[in-house]
């Protein structure tokens, strides 16, 4: 665990140093990276994300990032890419309980969806310090604990391969004109730009709620929306706003909202403990109150991103509702046995509630109305090398 924290810190520092060095080079040469303006293609009611000043969005950069996102030769085996764990047809998740690295190493966390990641102020399940997509991209490529793409120690070989590839050489030059374009910092900037382009605001619910199409969702979904926003169920407290998550940032907000919660998923020793590989943000804060506190994911496209929770331990939407209905999960036997509803660190919003089967059906209908079919098939987000 200590090695993992040390690596994350080192990767964070490395990225900052790369960015600072690059800025110095650009200042010395008198060049600024200027390319074509970027069209977000957002509905009128949707605010734009906040973009880093040193990595403005451009068409060229996003397209380079798309190629790199789907590039398996950025892995040690040559068969594993970012898209391996983030598949478009599954709203950029992978359908597995936990991610599996390029060498088949099982991870401890479920692959998070990337829809509207540009609006997220924190980027992993339980690292409150990971707030930059550019920094985060270093972890899957070069991380060792767990090993994902496995390119640690292969940095120069990777850059040389990209330099020798005429297509990538040209794409880097277009995306980062007026400088020495091919380096690790620009590689992560391009991937981050593509990830920010993954916007999803065209679900049936969006058409119903924001465009006035009363027939866009079913009557059951409309009843489910009322339940979702009721004080009885409390869903909206943690899953509110345009991205159905209370961790949110965009251009219309004066401050960034970030939150992590303990939902009573575990209570191993009766004193609030979670599995040792998944203790939430306590891994970083070392404060008892942070045991089991994880990021609240967006509910957009939630019907496609099963299994649920940080460790993929909840199989279906109905199971997830049952968990909150009970005010926490009870595990009867095994190494993780415990009564989650009695977890002393559990959020006050997780109180449990009474609900009928028909109301559960309505709530699921509402959640399914958050699926954006266009997002799942948009060619701008797809594998550029797919036939």
What's the CATH code of the domain at 304? 1.10.760.10
pLDDT in tens, 320-334: 999 999 999 999 999
Based on the fold, state whether residues 59 and 167 are members of the same structural domain: yes
Residues 6 or more apart whose CB falls under 8 angstroms from that of 89 comprise: 304, 376, 377
Closest CA to 205 of 246, 239, 232: 239
Instruction: Assess if residue 217 is contained within a domain.
Output: no
- pLDDT surpasses 60 at 203: yes
Average pLDDT over residues 249-258: 90
Q: Please state the pTM of the whole predicted model.
A: 0.89
- pLDDT surpasses 70 at 15: no
Which pair of tokens denotes residue 32?
Answer: 């600024």
Q: Residue 257: what pLDDT?
A: 83
Based on the fold, state whether residues 132 and 11 are members of the same structural domain: yes
Instruction: Say how many domains are in the chain.
Output: 2
Instruction: Assess if residue 359 is contained within a domain.
Output: no
Which pair of tokens denotes residue 105?
Answer: 């190493």
Query: Which residues form the domain of 69?
Result: 2-200+377-381
Residue 158 binned pLDDT confidence (cut-offs 50, 70, 90)? very high
Instruction: Assess if residue 357 is contained within a domain.
Output: no
Based on the fold, state whether residues 122 and 41 are members of the same structural domain: yes
- pLDDT surpasses 50 at 133: yes
Average pLDDT over residues 94-112: 95
- pLDDT surpasses 60 at 1: no
Peptide bond into 371 cis (omega under 30): no
Range in 24-33, 59-68, 85-94, 126-135 the model is least confident about: 24-33
Based on the fold, state whether residues 80 and 188 are members of the same structural domain: yes
Range in 36-40, 92-96, 179-183, 271-275 the model is least confident about: 36-40
Give the span between the Cα atoms of 139 and 149, in whole angstroms. 9
- pLDDT surpasses 70 at 35: no
Compute the C-alpha angle 249/142/182, nearest 5°.
80
Based on the fold, state whether residues 125 and 250 are members of the same structural domain: no
Q: Residue 6: what pLDDT?
A: 41
Q: Residue 141: what pLDDT?
A: 96
Based on the fold, state whether residues 86 and 152 are members of the same structural domain: yes
Based on the fold, state whether residues 178 and 256 are members of the same structural domain: no
Instruction: Assess if residue 224 is contained within a domain.
Output: no
Give the span between the Cα atoms of 361 and 281, in whole angstroms. 33
Closest CA to 192 of 99, 263, 130: 130
Q: Residue 387: what pLDDT?
A: 60
Give the span between the Cα atoms of 265 and 329, in whole angstroms. 5
DSSP 8-state assignment for residue 100: B
Q: At what angle do helices 184-196 and 155-164 cross, to 10 degrees?
A: 70
- pLDDT surpasses 80 at 71: yes
- pLDDT surpasses 70 at 29: no
- pLDDT surpasses 90 at 13: no
Residue 254 binned pLDDT confidence (cut-offs 50, 70, 90)? confident
Residues 6 or more apart whose CB falls under 8 angstroms from that of 224 comprise: 362, 363, 364, 365, 366, 367, 369
- pLDDT surpasses 70 at 284: yes
Based on the fold, state whether residues 133 and 269 are members of the same structural domain: no
Based on the fold, state whether residues 196 and 238 are members of the same structural domain: no
Q: Residue 334: what pLDDT?
A: 95
Residue 178 binned pLDDT confidence (cut-offs 50, 70, 90)? confident
Based on the fold, state whether residues 175 and 66 are members of the same structural domain: yes
Average pLDDT over residues 309-319: 98
- pLDDT surpasses 50 at 101: yes
Query: Taking all residues of the chain, what is their mean pLDDT, rounded to a whole number?
Result: 91
Residues listed for the chain: 387
Instruction: Assess if residue 229 is contained within a domain.
Output: no
Instruction: Assess if residue 154 is contained within a domain.
Output: yes
Instruction: Assess if residue 209 is contained within a domain.
Output: no
Percent of the chain with pLDDT over 70: 90
Are 262 and 347 within 8 A, CB to CB? yes
Average pLDDT over residues 205-220: 97
Residue 27 binned pLDDT confidence (cut-offs 50, 70, 90)? very low
Based on the fold, state whether residues 184 and 323 are members of the same structural domain: no
Based on the fold, state whether residues 18 and 161 are members of the same structural domain: yes
Which pair of tokens denotes residue 10?
Answer: 């080192």
- pLDDT surpasses 90 at 343: yes
Instruction: Assess if residue 88 is contained within a domain.
Output: yes
Residue 139 binned pLDDT confidence (cut-offs 50, 70, 90)? very high
């Amino acid at each position: 665990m200590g090695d993992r924290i040390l690596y994350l810190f080192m990767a964070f520092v490395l990225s900052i140093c790369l960015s600072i060095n690059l800025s110095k080079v650009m200042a010395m040469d008198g060049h600024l990276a200027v390319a074509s303006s970027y069209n977000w293609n957002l509905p009128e009611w949707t605010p734009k994300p906040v973009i880093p000043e040193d990595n403005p969005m451009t068409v060229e950069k996003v397209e380079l990032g798309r190629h790199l996102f789907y590039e398996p030769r950025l892995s040690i085996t040559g068969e594993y890419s970012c898209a391996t764990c983030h598949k478009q047809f599954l709203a950029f998740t992978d359908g597995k309980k936990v991610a599996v690295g390029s060498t088949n190493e099982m991870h401890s966390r479920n692959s998070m969806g990337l829809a509207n990641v540009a609006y997220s102020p924190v980027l992993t399940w339980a690292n409150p310090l990971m707030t930059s997509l550019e920094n985060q991209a270093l972890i899957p490529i070069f991380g060792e604990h767990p090993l994902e793409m496995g390119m640690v120690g292969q940095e120069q070989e990777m850059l040389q391969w990209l330099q020798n590839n005429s297509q990538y050489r040209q794409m880097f030059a277009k995306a980062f004109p007026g400088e020495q374009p091919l380096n690790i910092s620009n590689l992560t900037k391009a991937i981050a730009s593509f990830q920010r382009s993954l916007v999803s605001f065209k679900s049936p619910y969006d058409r119903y709620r924001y465009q006035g199409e009363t027939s866009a969702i079913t009557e059951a979904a409309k009843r489910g929306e009322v339940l979702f926003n009721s004080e009885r169920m409390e869903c909206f407290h943690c899953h509110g706003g345009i991205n159905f998550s209370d961790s949110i940032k965009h251009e219309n907000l004066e401050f960034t909202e970030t939150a992590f919660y303990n939902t009573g998923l575990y209570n191993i020793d009766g004193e609030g403990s979670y599995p040792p590989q998944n203790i939430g943000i306590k891994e970083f804060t070392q404060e008892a109150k942070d045991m089991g506190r994880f990021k609240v994911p967006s509910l957009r496209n939630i019907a496609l991103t099963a299994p649920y929770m940080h460790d993929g331990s909840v199989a279906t939407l109905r199971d997830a509702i049952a968990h909150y209905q009970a005010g926490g999960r009870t595990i009867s036997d095994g190494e993780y046995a415990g009564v989650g509803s009695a977890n002393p660190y559990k959020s006050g919003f997780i109180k449990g509630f009474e609900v009928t089967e028909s109301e559960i059906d309505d709530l699921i209908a509402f959640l399914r109305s958050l699926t954006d079919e266009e997002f799942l098939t948009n060619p701008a987000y797809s594998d550029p090398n797919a036939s």
